[in-house]
């Protein structure tokens, strides 16, 4: 397949917009996957979506020898709302760059890994069973797919995740754990002019809590907290009865995750007449570079060397992925095996067309070696 053919085929995937909240688009992507493998020695299982989210597709192929499988995982949802490609981020090629919503995170990786999976299934060159799971909801923390991801992980000898490559093709062998919390505050409303002293401002209380939470950031320990969504109040002249905000928390170890969960859930109201209700917790456990992950990485380095690539990994990254779930179960997991490029979650998102062929060859080699 030429670079141009690959770019054209991937462009079809990118042009079909599939934000997590748009199950019709996500299901359209699942249809494209099923269409790709029609007529090949690959079994397709479709798992119906729930809670307003899209379906999952599971592919099975390879050697049926009773050994644990090698599993590939890709999400087909993106963060970009429908309409992004018609105005802010048109699907287009500029030199080696293919631009479009979700091309880098992670339709490019999902597409090239599927081509590799097809190559191996067609050639009959797998050493064990192979599975490929396509999920609809990674960008919101995988609420409906986590169970399936963990079940497949438990039955696999290794998990390969096709999130984007980093910094010139580096793969990912460790990720921070991610926590999400919602804080809701309720005070007492009052006219801000005539009855100011009677009011108990939920926003004022939120301000205290936000500063306390942000102060939990400890860069030396790899702990960060940030409040990035906030709301409250009804009018400029009313002491606000309600306020809310969300907290994002990142940690490097399971123990720190438990500690931060306890600290955030245990916050007490500064003003005793304002009630505070905190929900949430750690969503993705940390993915640490265990000895088994390091060993799998060395295997991948060997495969890469065979196709002329000097494969490197990057230091623990702050972004979570579905690889966190399988790695936390002790299943050797490699991530960042997707396409190279930049601009994930932005309107400058692009993938490097020249990275498709080598990354596809790397995935094929991994599927034949592990
Ligand atoms: Zn992603």
Residues 235 and 258 occupy one common structural domain: yes
Mean pLDDT, the chain, integer: 97
Three-state SS sequence of the chain: CCHHHHHHHHHHHHHCCCECCCHHHHHHHHHHHHHHHCCCCCEEEEECCCCCCCCEEEEEEECCCCCCEEEEEEECCECCCCCHHHCCCCCEEECCEEECCCHHHHHHHHHHHHHHHHHHHHHCCCCCEEEEEEECCHHHCCCCCHHHHHHHHHCEEEEEECCCCECCCEEECCECEEEEEEEEEECECEECCCCHHHCECHHHHHHHHHHHHHCCCEHHHCEEEEEEEEEECCCCCEECCEEEEEEEEEECCHHHHHHHHHHHHCCCCCCCCCEEEEEEEEEECCECCCHHHHHHHHHHHHHHHHCCCCCCEECCECCCCCHHHHHHCCCCEEECCCCCEECCCCCCCEEEHHHHHHHHHHHHHHHHHC
Cα of 344 vs centre of ligand 1, distance in Å, is: 8
Residues 166 and 182 occupy one common structural domain: no
Residues 129 and 41 occupy one common structural domain: yes
Report the first-to-last Cα separation within the chain, whole angstroms.
Answer: 25
pTM exceeds 0.85, yes or no: yes
Cα of 301 vs centre of ligand 1, distance in Å, is: 23
Residue 319's pLDDT band (boundaries 50, 70, 90)? confident
Task: Give the CATH number of the domain where residue 258 resides.
Answer: 3.30.70.360
Domain boundary among 284, 310, 343: 284
Residues 18 and 155 occupy one common structural domain: yes
Cα of 277 vs centre of ligand 1, distance in Å, is: 31
pLDDT at 168 over 90: no
Domain boundary among 284, 299, 314: 284
Residue 44: strand pairing partners: 59
Domain holding 325, by residue range, is 3-175+287-369
Cα of 206 vs centre of ligand 1, distance in Å, is: 31
Residues 166 and 35 occupy one common structural domain: yes
Cα of 319 vs centre of ligand 1, distance in Å, is: 9
Residue 224 sits at the vertex; the CA angle it makes with 274 and 289, to the nearest 5 degrees, is: 140
Residues 266 and 355 occupy one common structural domain: no
Dig out the tokens for 39 from the structure.
């007529």
Residue 1's pLDDT band (boundaries 50, 70, 90)? confident
Decide: 353 and 3 in contact? Cβ < 8 Å: yes
Residues 340 and 328 occupy one common structural domain: yes
108-127 pLDDT tens trace: 999 999 999 999 999 999 99
**Average confidence (pLDDT) over 173-179:** 96
- Who surrounds ion ligand 1 at CB < 5 A? 105-106, 163
Residues 35 and 132 occupy one common structural domain: yes
Cα of 336 vs centre of ligand 1, distance in Å, is: 9
Total count of domains within the chain: 2
d(C-alpha 26, C-alpha 231), whole Å: 30
Cα of 280 vs centre of ligand 1, distance in Å, is: 22
Residues 165 and 303 occupy one common structural domain: yes
Task: Give the CATH number of the domain where residue 296 resides.
Answer: 3.40.630.10
Cα of 104 vs centre of ligand 1, distance in Å, is: 8
pLDDT at 88 over 90: yes
Cα of 138 vs centre of ligand 1, distance in Å, is: 7
Residues 198 and 211 occupy one common structural domain: yes
d(C-alpha 85, C-alpha 102), whole Å: 10
53-81 pLDDT tens trace: 999 999 999 999 999 999 999 999 999 99
Lowest mean pLDDT among 38-42, 234-238, 282-286, 365-369: 282-286
Cα of 205 vs centre of ligand 1, distance in Å, is: 35
Structure-derived torsion over alpha carbons of residues 190, 194, 195, 196, reported in degrees to the nearest 10: 90
d(C-alpha 339, C-alpha 359), whole Å: 7
Residues 74 and 215 occupy one common structural domain: no
Which residue bears the tokens 């926590």? 179
Cα of 292 vs centre of ligand 1, distance in Å, is: 23
Q: What is the pLDDT of residue 245?
A: 98
Residues 77 and 14 occupy one common structural domain: yes
Distances (CA, A) of 46 to 40, 171, 251, 356, 357: 16, 29, 34, 27, 28
Residue 150 sits at the vertex; the CA angle it makes with 149 and 152, to the nearest 5 degrees, is: 65
Cα of 79 vs centre of ligand 1, distance in Å, is: 9
Domain boundary among 220, 254, 284: 284
192-219 pLDDT tens trace: 999 999 999 999 999 999 999 999 999 9
Cα of 72 vs centre of ligand 1, distance in Å, is: 14
Cα of 200 vs centre of ligand 1, distance in Å, is: 42
pLDDT at 132 over 90: yes
Candidates 67, 99, 100, 104; CA nearest to 84 is 100
Cα of 75 vs centre of ligand 1, distance in Å, is: 7
């Amino acid at each position: 397949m030429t670079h141009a053919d690959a770019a054209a085929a991937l462009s079809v995937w990118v042009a079909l917009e599939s934000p997590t909240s748009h199950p019709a688009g996500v299901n359209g992507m699942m249809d494209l996957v099923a269409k790709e493998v029609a007529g090949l020695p690959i079994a397709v299982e479709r798992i119906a979506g729930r809670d307003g989210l899209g379906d999952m597709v599971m592919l099975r192929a390879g050697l049926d020898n009773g050994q644990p499988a090698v599993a590939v995982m890709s999400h087909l949802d993106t963060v970009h709302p429908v309409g992004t490609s018609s105005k802010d981020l048109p699907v287009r090629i500029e030199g080696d760059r293919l631009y479009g919503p979700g091309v880098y995170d992670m339709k490019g990786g999902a597409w090239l890994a599927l081509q590799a999976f097809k190559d191996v299934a067609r050639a009959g060159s797998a050493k064990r069973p192979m599975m490929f799971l396509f999920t609809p909801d990674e960008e919101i923390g995988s609420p409906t797919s986590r169970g399936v991801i963990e079940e497949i992980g438990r039955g696999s000898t290794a998990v390969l995740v096709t999130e984007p490559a980093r910094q010139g093709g580096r793969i990912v062998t460790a990720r921070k754990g991610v926590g999400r919390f919602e804080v809701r505050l309720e005070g007492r409303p009052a006219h801000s002019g005539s009855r100011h002293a009677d009011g108990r401002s939920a926003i004022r209380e939120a301000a205290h809590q936000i500063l306390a939470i942000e102060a939990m950031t400890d860069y030396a320990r790899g702990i960060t907290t940030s409040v990035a969504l906030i709301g409250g109040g009804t009018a400029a002249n009313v002491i606000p009865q309600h306020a809310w905000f969300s907290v994002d928390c990142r940690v490097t170890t399971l123990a720190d995750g438990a500690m931060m969960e306890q600290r955030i859930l245990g916050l007490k109201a500064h003003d005793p007449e304002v009630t505070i209700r905190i929900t949430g917790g750690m969503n993705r456990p940390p993915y640490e570079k265990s000895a088994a992950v390091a060993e799998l990485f060395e295997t991948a380095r060997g495969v890469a060397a065979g196709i002329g690539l000097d494969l490197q990994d990057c230091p623990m990254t702050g972004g979570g992925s579905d690889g966190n779930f399988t790695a936390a179960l002790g299943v050797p997991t490699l991530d960042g095996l997707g396409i190279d490029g930049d601009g994930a979650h932005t309107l400058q998102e692009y993938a490097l067309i020249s990275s498709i062929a080598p990354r596809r060859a790397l995935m094929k080699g991994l599927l034949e070696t592990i």
